[in-house]
Structure 1
Amino acid sequence: MIYLIVGCALLCLLVLAARSFVSANPAVLARQLRIGGGVVLLLLAGLLAVTGRFFLAIPAFGLAWALLGSAGIGSGGYKPGKASGQRSRVRTAMVEMELDHDTGDMSGTILAGSFQGQTLDDLSDSDLKVLWAETAQDDQSRKLVEAYLDRRLPSWREDFEADGAERQGSAASSGPMTDEEAYQILGLSSDAGDAEIRAAHRRLMMRVHPDQGGSGFLAAKINEAKDTLLRRH
C-alpha cells in the first residue's frame, strides 16, 4: 500500500515536470523538482513512521528537509536578492562617480578644477580631454575619469595620449578606506549584513571586472570595500 501511494505521487510529479520542462526556466524547474522530491520524501517518512519503521522514517525525513531547504523552504536562511535602483558611489579629490547596478552605466560630478560642479555627461569630448589632463597630479581621480572614458569613448587613448601628455606625479593615497566609503562603493546601507555585502560585491564585479572590459581601479575599490566591511563584521 505504501509503495503504491509513493509510486502514484512520483508519477504525478513526473507528469507535471514533463509538461513544464520545455517552457520552464531551468533554475525554476530545478527548484520545483527539489520541492516535489522533498514533499514525496516527507510523505514517505510519515507513512514509515505510522507503520513503526522509524529507522527508515528518520533518514527519509532528513533528506526531505535538506531538499526543501535547498529550495529555500523552511531553511530560515537569508536569500540575498537584487534590489532595483541601487547605485555605488566612489569619491576622490576631483571626481565623484556613480555606477548603476541595474544597467552598469556610469555618471559623475566634477568636484575640483576648471569644470567644478558640472557632470561628466555634460562635457564635450574636448572638455573631457582637458579634465583628464588636469587629473595628472591625482592618480585616483585620473583612474576614475579613465574608467568613465573607457565606457563613453573606447578609443580615447589614441587621441588624448597622442600629444605625449604625461603624468607629473601622483597624489598620495588618502589612507585606509572608511566603513562609510565602503558602504557607498557597494551601494549598501550601514545595516547590511555579510550576505548582502558578498552579493553586492559579486554583482558589481560582473559589471566592472577588467576581464569584462571594465575598470581595474573600480574593481580594486570594490574588493577593498568588501574586505573592509567583512573585517569589521
Structure 2
Amino acid sequence: MSKARILVIEDEEDILALIQYNLIKAGYRVECVTSGEEGVAKATALHPDLVILDLMLPGINGFEVCRRLRAEPGTAELPIIMLTAKGEDADIVSGLEIGADDYLTKPFSPQVLKARIQAVLRRRGQSGPEFSGQPVAVHDLVVDPGRGKVLVAGREVELTLTEFRLLYLLAGRPGWVFTRTQIVDAIRGEGYAVTDRAVDVQVVGLRKKLGDAGSYIETVRGVGYRFKE
C-alpha cells in the first residue's frame, strides 16, 4: 500500500528541503508550497493525507491557513501539524484551539517529525470509540457526538473540536477526576506534547462558551478536572 501524501507549507528553503528529503526517504509522497495562499489552494485541490504547516508565512500566516482549511467541508478533517519557531504556550494553545492536531517547534529532529506524523495519521485512522458513542445528557447539557452538537438548555453552543472532545470526556463520566495528562491522552492520543497550561486554557475557554453551565466543570486542585455529578 502506498504511503500517505503530505503537503508541506513552508517558506524557508533549507527547512523545506530538509523536510522533503526526510519524508521522501521515509516513503511518503510529498508536495511543497511556500506561501499560505498556495497552501490553501493546494490542500483544497489535492486533499492530502496530512499537512505540515509553518506559522510564519508570507501573505496569510499559518493560523489563518488552518482556520480556512477547518472552515471548508472538504478539508475540515485534514490532519495538520504546525511547525513553528514560536514555542510560547499562547502560540501553541492558539494553534490547538483553531484545530491543529499537533505542533513542533524549530529547530526540530526529522526523526521526531516522522514519529509525530505517524502518530497523527494513526490517531486519525482510528474512529475513536470514546467520541463515536451515544449522546451524553447531564444536568441541562447534551453532548451529541453523532451530530457534533452541544446543547445547553436547548441552546446550541459552538465549540472547537478539542473543546468538544474535552467536554464529551468529562460529561461522559460525571464525578470522575481526570488528570491533565489523562485529558491530553484521551482527546489527542498518548504522548501528545501539550503543557498543563494549555489544558487549563482550553478549560477556561470551554467554561466561557458554556455560560452558566461552565460551572459544571470543576477544578480539582493539584490534580485536574471533573464534571459535577
Q: Could you state the TM-score of these two structures normalised by the residue count of structure 2?
A: 0.28
More strand by share: 2
Q: Could you state the TM-score of these two structures normalised by the residue count of structure 1?
A: 0.27
More helix by share: 1
